Structure 1
Amino acid sequence: MSFEVRAIDESEFGEWQRAKRIGFLLPPVVPDEEIKDRLPHTDLSRTYGAFDRGRIIATFQSYGQRVSTVGGADLVADAVTGVTVSPTHRRRGLLGRMMAADLAAAKERGDACATLIAAEYPIYGRFGFGVASWTTVWAIDVTRAGFDRHRPGPGAGAGDEGGRIDLSDGDEIRKVGPELHRRVAARRAGVTDRTARGWDVGTGNAYTTDPWTEPFYAVYRSESGEAEGYVAYRADDKWSDAKQPVNTASVRDLVAATPAAERALWRYVCSIDWIQRVKSGNRAPDDVLPLLLPDPRAAQVLTHADMLWLRVLDVAKVFEPRTYATEGVLVLDVRDAAGFAGGRYLLEAGPEGASVTPTAAPADLVLDVADLAPLAFGDESAVRLVALGRIEEAAAGAAARADLLLRTPLRPWSMDIF
């Protein structure tokens, strides 16, 4: 049976939203407010549907995104989202057709890479995507954490290094948040950009499909009064039969541009009266949180999983903008069945910059394009990928040299799901 795959038009957007809801196992009723809110922010030329006799049975969407690389430069990315296939039409090749069309358009535009957050792990490797960052969620038993919860709060001027914490609201977060977010992206790779609309949605200033509950906001300011970080969190209201509080504070967002802000905000959240447990939300795997606690055993890992998936479309555009702490030379033989990024490349890099050029020189490492992703932002060890059989070490010692050149002190962190 033949299915039509194409970009949708405005009249089909409501049906497209319904098909997406079906694929994500959400109630298949699309409120008018959802259509009115999302349509003006949707690039229909990048919103694909698969049609069976005029009915949409698969969805796919992409939009322009910027993602930070090592050293803080931005890569232009094709962010993939809204991918579904209705259960009546699975395993018919529909995702492959939509993905091929989107990646070809991204390559034609000159995008450096494509990104996505995978609902299921096994799906996207066959399209050249690999895991570029991981996320960890902790649950903290604050009764065991070891903080002195009887000391004055930082809002009274007793914060670290002279700073203070003030309760705030969404209006202020929309003002100070973007700059703080940019400062975090400047020192950690894998951070995807937040648009003005993203800040509106994240602070309840725009329509959301889920019922909105206003969180608590707190801003950390340095001794000079400069905002250096903020936290947004919600708390439940639970009491034991013995009339003891057993509440959980769930962190929605914690963005800290300085170590002092990060330490102070975590101590603040873990010291709130009546809070017995803190859920951290998505954090970098090397977050300071567990070791910040006087008793790190009070932090239990709830989730450790893949986060940002990266599909390299242009090797030079991904590896030239990032920074390198030491000098090194690598010849990468990249295999790409789709033909977007395949070839043999000479990477010459150092503290002064980097260049990537085609070469006929003997390869140091031979790898599939999907295995460029864990190397691009410095998260994974080439030595480990060789041990796993995912990379071929064509020259002795090349994997160790790659680790010296590519790995970074901070692991990449992608804080947002899109």
Structure 2
Amino acid sequence: MTFNDCFLKWPKYTLIIQAADQQGTGFPTDGTAVIIVTDSNDNPPQFEPETYTVSVPENQVGVEVAKLTVTDGDEPGSPAWSTKYKIISGDKLGVFNISTGPSQLEGIITTVKPLDYEKTKQYILSVIVENDDPFVGPLPTSTATVTVNVEDVNEPPVFNPKEKYIIKPENVPVGSDLVAFTATDPDIGRAQKLTYRIGSDPAGFLSVIEDTGMIKVKSLMDRESIEVKDGKYTAIILAVDNDETARATGTGTLIIELEDVNDNAPYINEREIKICNQEAPPVLLSITDKDLHPNAGPFSVETQGDTMKNWTAKMNDSGTGIELILKSTLESGVYNVVLRVFDEQKLYQDTSVKATVCECKGESVVCNETRTARLSLSIIIRIICTIVALVSISFLLVYFMRPQICFGQGSL
């Protein structure tokens, strides 16, 4: 029986000691001695078993790889009994971590970085175990060997770059090629084919050739579309492999910065105004052009058709608004004012403004709706009378131009 076995069975000894003098029969006396045996770390922990072979899927982080068990002959619960672990070889990239399990007699290996089957298919780890307390004297250290086989899984295709940025004019013709946006399959050991499709195309501008990843213009791109933010249009492109068990899909982001072209003529925002027919100040009309400089302002304006007889239009000092002036006194009523507005590149658009002219003076516009309605009714009556007159004239023309029947004289 070893000393350690005795310690585990009897960690404390109680001794009765008697002392007596040597005269005559002697007078004895008893004493008690208590001896407590303290443990020292004289039993190294041992792996049981010492070799492990495990398989772990690639790309997983935090997964348990292996649980290594040990035994220790020292006092349970003491620092000489609890264990700690270290990977001493086979993990140059720091892919694995090992920690002490809840029982204090197990080492748990986990992944702290994703495994990559295409780079490393197998790891052979050497692990040592020690106690929290140092050994008493030279003791052999137990070593375990853990063989980790990496399992291949189907990984999604990868776009490179993941976000592609291009600059194109907004008026690129429909059917034109924009850019080839392709991905690669990280599963180099598998003979897989990639196909491409549109994942997100909010304005429907784009199409993609399935086999090549060439992005084409499907409908005319418009920088002024609500789907274009700060002049940039974003679409998502998908690459899909043809794995037989579970297809994987990769995503790439295509950002198209659309250069402005002069494809929007300026127009007047106000479509209805009211104005006095006497001493009226200019009415200010605002202009919108969705294009950017130099395809927008400064603007110019011209009156069109009958508008030129009674109205004058000119740009204000800033060149961004129109001053509309009534240059002659008109009867109360509603008039159609046609203005042609040009941008800096002379692209123009005609805008009709409904102008209600009221019997008043100055800038305080007061309209007599009853009078306006009566005037409108009188106009309608005049139109009806004109139509009746035209019909009557037509009837008379037909009457007088009809064939005449002549009667000749005969003898009785």
For the criterion TM > 0.5, the same-fold answer is no
Q: Which bin holds the TM-score, normalised by the shorter protein?
A: under 0.3
Structure showing greater radius of gyration is 2
Structure with higher RCO (Cα < 8 A, 6+ apart): 1
TM-score, structure 1 normalization: 0.20
Higher helix share: 1
TM-score, structure 2 normalization: 0.21
Higher strand share: 2
